[in-house]
Chains A and B, each alone.
Chain A
């Protein structure tokens, strides 16, 4: 297909050849366009190059304006040894030509630069198949792709030679100690030879580390979801009682929220709202009744506040146990000087006057508990009207803000 592509072109569009090329295929392309052998074109270019560099300029221009043959099945661009030598010879010819006409920075600059560049090129050939050094040093590198030590040696030798030329010509020996100079040269050579490799290795390691961290995080999330959400979902599938399902789902929801928003951490351990949260969760789990908790403000846990918390626990449990309401509402309002908490249900209610005096539930666990710390418990209920327990506790001014 590639052989016909050039014929299809109209006008004088230069098409580079990918099959037959020494440098980038311009000569063969032009030859195909003109209908002559590529060898003539190449010869002409070389001759013209010695005539004021015209051949090289023409080649460069042709390269820029030309396009590839677009051969889609073109294999990886392999350059044969002959092509490379040809390229090198052309470049050398150019240098000599430039030197001849005086466009020259001087032997002490150009030749070392040339040698070092050549050394770098030999060592760090970017051709994927030839990038063996990289393949060799990286973990799991292909055995087959071990680098040619000849290549590295040649490259390093060229570079050291280039550097040595500079040093010997500049005559630094008198100013710097020989040992120091040797170190510098060796160091410079090492950087030149291995620098790019180390650079790439660092990038590689960094990428691997990022991947590992990401994998760890994923693993942690997966482990948590497995232990919590998946287990609960399995339990829900086996649960026969709809109430039980709701309880399981709500407990899981609570747990997941705590985890997602990092609640229940050490910082919240000292706060009334967090303690109420876990209290509500316990009652839900024990009695299969949802507990709706709304909090406004917060208070630190002190002995009186804990007494209120315990009284609240008793009131919530009572509501869940006896009221037959489908939910218990808990509302907390707290600030620096006062804590108020309401536990309300819309259930059966009861007759306060007919509660036996020896029943500890209300009088002892709720009223007396608060009374001991200067608080007040008010219970409002009637049969069929639901029940509301209001716990009110003033906080002494001496109370420490957040004891730690």
Chain B
């Protein structure tokens, strides 16, 4: 069984998620604050960490960036009630491989964790919308053109995800394999993390919310 570590400062939510996930994963532990989380994740080195964006003491951002410095193999899935693109993009750029909102159904959450564990990216419809918005306007190509633009195929995949379709459905609708969908999404994730477009930051602060 793959191990999952939980980081959330809401006791009730933590208890609920722990129960939902314990059938499918071994729960390596949980923390309600940043320091304990960093310390325990480093020691247990779980396969996947579910991390809340908003927490006292630096938030999920601090957990992700600190752990990845020493343990680059740990994979993070960000989880939040926030819709703020600023927070979401910051988590992804710090190294989280996906983002889902807390209203996600238990089955979808299990699916998302599996996907993260396999090294894929998890894009909720909302995150896909954020990314399309962030890469929407064509900008003068001063930086790295490969990183600063989405290809048409990547854009099309994101649009399908934003419309609520699963990776499997997207593959079927675009007549490509699931593997290809996953490749496109991972490539978008990489661009999101590495692109030097400052527009990303500006866009996120201009537009606080969907």
Contact = CB atoms under 8 A, between A and B. Distances in A.
Interface of A: 250, 253, 257, 261, 263, 273, 292-297, 327, 329, 331, 333, 335, 342, 344, 346, 388
A292 B164 contact: yes
Which of B128, B129, B163 has the most chain A CB atoms closer than 10 A to its own CB?
Answer: B163
Which of A250, A294, A388 has the most chain B CB atoms closer than 10 A to its own CB?
Answer: A294
Contacts of B128: 294
B159 interface: yes
Interface string B29-54: 00000000000000000000000000
Interface string B179-210: 00000000000000000000000000000111
Contact of B163 (A253, A257, A335, A344): A344
Contacts of A342: 163
A335 B133 CA distance: 11
Nearest to B132: A296
B154 interface: no
Given A329-B164, A342-B163, A292 B210 contact: no
Given A329-B163, A329-B164, A342-B163, A294 B129 contact: yes
A344 B160 CA distance: 10
B152 to A, nearest CB: 14
B166 to A, nearest CB: 9
Interface in B122-168: 125-126, 128-129, 132-133, 136, 159, 162-165
Contacts of B20: none
Nearest to B84: A261
A333 B132 CA distance: 9
B159 A333 contact: yes
A333 B160 CA distance: 12
A296 B129 contact: yes
Contacts of A261: 208-209
29 contacts: A257-B83, A263-B209, A292-B125, A294-B125, A294-B126, A294-B128, A294-B163, A295-B129, A295-B210, A296-B132, A296-B133, A296-B136, A296-B162, A297-B133, A329-B125, A329-B164, A329-B165, A331-B125, A331-B129, A331-B159, A331-B162, A331-B163, A331-B164, A333-B159, A342-B163, A344-B163, A344-B165, A346-B169, A388-B163
Interface residues of B, number: 18
A344 B164 contact: yes
B167 to A, nearest CB: 14
Nearest to A335: B136
A333 B210 CA distance: 12
Contacts of B136: 296-297, 335
Interface in B51-72: none
Contacts of B162: 294, 296, 331
Contacts of B125: 292, 294, 329, 331
Interface in B62-94: 83
Contacts of A335: 136
Nearest to B158: A296
Nearest to A290: B103
A252 to B, nearest CB: 12
Nearest to A258: B209
B209 A257 contact: yes
A295 B159 CA distance: 11
A221 to B, nearest CB: 18
Interface in B98-134: 103, 125-126, 128-129, 132-133
A322 to B, nearest CB: 17
Contacts of B164: 292, 327, 329, 331, 344, 346
Nearest to B169: A346
A161 to B, nearest CB: 62
